[in-house]
Structure 1
Amino acid sequence: MHPRPSPIAASLYTLRDMNVDVIIMHGPHGCCFRTGRLLESDGVRVLTTAMAENDFILGASEKLENTLKEAYDMFKPEFIGVVGTCASMIIGEDLKEAIANADLDCTVIPVESHGGFGEGDNTEGAIMVLDSAVEYGIIPREEADRQIEMLKKATEIEKTRGMAQGKYIQPNFGDNKEEVAKKIIKALSDGKKVAFVLNAKKETSYLFADILNFDYREVNPENKPIIIANLDENIGLSRIRNHAVNIKQELKADIDYITGGLDEYPVTGKAAADYLKKNPVDLYVVCGVPHAFPVEEIECESIAVTDGPRLVEPLRDLGYDNVVAELDAHSKTLGTDKIVFSDFGGMIRSAIDWK
């Protein structure tokens, strides 16, 4: 019932992950405005054909052709993505024809996404990019199929355990960060076994990794927390693998168990839970996408750290004892290759001084 990310935005982010140079949105200038502006921070040039009222009636293929040519002249890109919007797709604009007519000396792929595509799930837009990338020889079919499987699992998790359950969820900013941070530091100080699970999505991992990035020896040198993370640098597109490499280089503590890659968060939560079943702890903290972790299967004290105020109540319903909300994870982590300060991570480090 409440607004959610659209397939168009997912198309933009997926093209970004493929290291596209320029994205042209074929639609009104305000469509996905915030996403387009944010992606500029990641080095992607995002342009629009700025369709207007007359174009909704007469079509705007010529506008798209001209924008393609202008983009090529301005930026000399090697790779352009053309993304449809509700306006252009509903009136049946032919992206492929416009691309052929522009006849540019670079790779250009069309993505015929719009806000209501399929069931309207944002992952549908990402799947459309993957299929188009296979057609144009950008990625192999096997890699696309792996990612599509993850995207479908992500949709299932959101609809059954997250904020796409079909009911209105009141935004909630979670429990007091200071009190929850003190709880973690006290547990470590008292010699209890504590685990940190990084189950994060792509670039947002730069923020959630900060929560793990404190020196446990300042708390209890004899009690190293278990670190579990989906930081396999051999899985995913090159941009995603690089995120994993960068974070592992900065983490102060060694990782005890790697559950998978940063685009595998729909399944790496279960892998983390399986590890904890074999290595029981007194307290665990799941950071990133905690609703993909089967909290109901692990009987001990639990803390979830999410970036969605509308996920706080669903996480409590799943069984987490405490839920902490970090805000603006996407905007804070775009354009970075280093771990980004998180409010909760900073609070944990402050709690070490208070103990």
Structure 2
Amino acid sequence: MNYIQPRPSSIVAALYTVRDLGVDLAILHGPSGCSFKHARLLEEDGLRVLTTSLADNEFIFGGQQVLEDVLRYAEKEFKPERIAVVGTCVSMIIGEDMEAAIIDSGIETPAIAVDIHAGFRENIDGVIAALEPAAEAGWIDEDELERQKGLLKAANEVERKRGAAYKPYVQPSRGDLKHVVAGSLVESACSGRKGIAILNAKKETAYMFADVLIALHERCPDADITYVVNLENRGLPKIRRDAETILSGIRSAGIDPVLCGALDEYGANGDRIGEIINEIKPDFALIAGVPHAIPPEYLEGIEVFSVTNGPRQVEPLKEFGHDHVVVEIDLHPKTLGVREIVPSEFGDTIRSI
């Protein structure tokens, strides 16, 4: 697919992946402004991000010495447990050998070099670029590496078929009015209709999407609703910790959910969730996180309430038959660095009905 709308950067994808691998200090080898926004956001989540701040002089003569100096400084000042050196377009163009810089710096901290730049159409290339050296370093095994590659392929396929990449340009939208959708949802749940409430969320976004399910349970505690969540204990270190924390919060709210998939399996989880839907035969479904992962044939004849954090996800969800679509704006920044379920706007709207 050739996109004519902005897409996630493979450099940023690499940064998020090293965070999930347990890296607590990353060095961006490039200009100081590269991936600035996400670097700052990730610092809220416990990943310290430094930069070699390459400028025009290094663009010509190379920046390996600068990288070595920053590596030594990082080890001395911050005493990290793991370091990742993440490439940029500049380091790629000038042909920097980041692995050699790690060796020549003399640091003792376990470190990997992630050779990546922004010139990939798919951001999953950044994820793979981080996972492969992590496997070589023994941070993950080969089985987990292959598992991750399979999940990335599945997630990409979902985006191409029914997500924000289903056509070259998707018009962003704020979705339906939350108080109107919340009213319809509460009426469905409290009127005796059979329902299913699904959390199929991507990684840390589940900290807020889970609140939508909790809010529905609080508002309609005796409703005939089966709760299904993708919180099985699999994946990279941070993913497993987040799943355990969120599941504990859901159970503390009085919900005993069906476990279906892990937090990194959101894109490959559609058929498994679909089979549960077929078994239950609900009248309505609430889907929070990545609703478009569920193939539309499983949702035929069901009133669907979907909650996403992507303004460009509204149009495809509507096109594929979702009756109500609401958007949690700025969800991702609000779920970085948190260690407990956080309130959602739609969840609070449900509570207010």
Q: Which moved more, 1:159-168 or 1:193-202?
A: 159-168
Among candidates 51, 54, 57, match of residue 51 of structure 1: 54
Q: Which moved more, 1:272-281 or 1:241-250?
A: 241-250
Aligned identity (percent) is: 45
Q: What is the CA deviation profile of residues 279-333 of structure 1, one whole-angstrom value per residue up to 9, with x for unaligned ones?
A: 1111101110111111333221111111010111011111111111111222101
1:113-124 equivalences in 2 (<5 Å): 113-117=116-120, 120-124=121-125
Partner of 2:225: 225
Partner of 2:30: 27
Partner amino acid for 1:208? F
Among candidates 315, 318, 324, match of residue 316 of structure 1: 318
How far 1:217 sits from its partner (Å)? 6.6
How far 1:45 sits from its partner (Å)? 0.8
Q: What is the CA deviation profile of residues 37-64 of structure 1, one whole-angstrom value per residue up to 9, with x for unaligned ones?
A: 0011111110000111122222111111
Query: With structure 1 as the length reference, what TM-score do the two structures score?
Result: 0.95
Query: With structure 2 as the length reference, what TM-score do the two structures score?
Result: 0.95
Contact 2:218 2:351 in 1 (8 A): no
Partner of 1:263: 264
2: CA distance, partners of 1:328 / 1:215: 21
Contact 1:228 1:259 in 2 (8 A): yes
Partner amino acid for 1:292? A
How far 1:246 sits from its partner (Å)? 1.1
How far 1:256 sits from its partner (Å)? 3.9
Partner of 2:215: 214
Partner of 1:148: 149
1:333-344 equivalences in 2 (<5 Å): 333-344=335-346
Secondary structure of the structure 1 residue equivalent to 2:285: strand
Secondary structure of the structure 2 residue equivalent to 1:213: helix
Among candidates 290, 304, 307, match of residue 305 of structure 1: 307
Q: What is the CA deviation profile of residues 221-255 of structure 1, one whole-angstrom value per residue up to 9, with x for unaligned ones?
A: 2x24110110112x112211111111121112434
How far 1:2 sits from its partner (Å)? 0.9
Partner of 1:9: 12
1: CA distance, partners of 2:219 / 2:33: 50
Partner of 1:104: 107
Distance 1:220 1:85, change over 3 A: closer
Report the count of equivalent residues: 347
2: CA distance, partners of 1:276 / 1:172: 28
Distance 1:16 1:220, change over 3 A: closer
Contact 1:81 1:111 in 2 (8 A): yes
1: CA distance, partners of 2:274 / 2:214: 21
Q: Does residue 151 of structure 2 align to residue 128 of structure 1?
A: no
Structure 1 unmatched runs, 5+: none
Partner amino acid for 2:238? R
Q: What is the CA deviation profile of residues 119-157 of structure 1, one whole-angstrom value per residue up to 9, with x for unaligned ones?
A: x21111011111110111111111111011101111111
| Alignment RMSD (CA, Å) | 1.3
Distance 1:297 1:95, change over 3 A: same
Secondary structure of the structure 2 residue equivalent to 1:138: coil
Structure 2 unmatched runs, 5+: none
1: CA distance, partners of 2:159 / 2:308: 13
1: CA distance, partners of 2:167 / 2:92: 26
Contact 2:185 2:305 in 1 (8 A): no
1: CA distance, partners of 2:326 / 2:218: 24
Partner amino acid for 2:281? P
Partner of 1:168: 169
Distance 1:67 1:343, change over 3 A: same
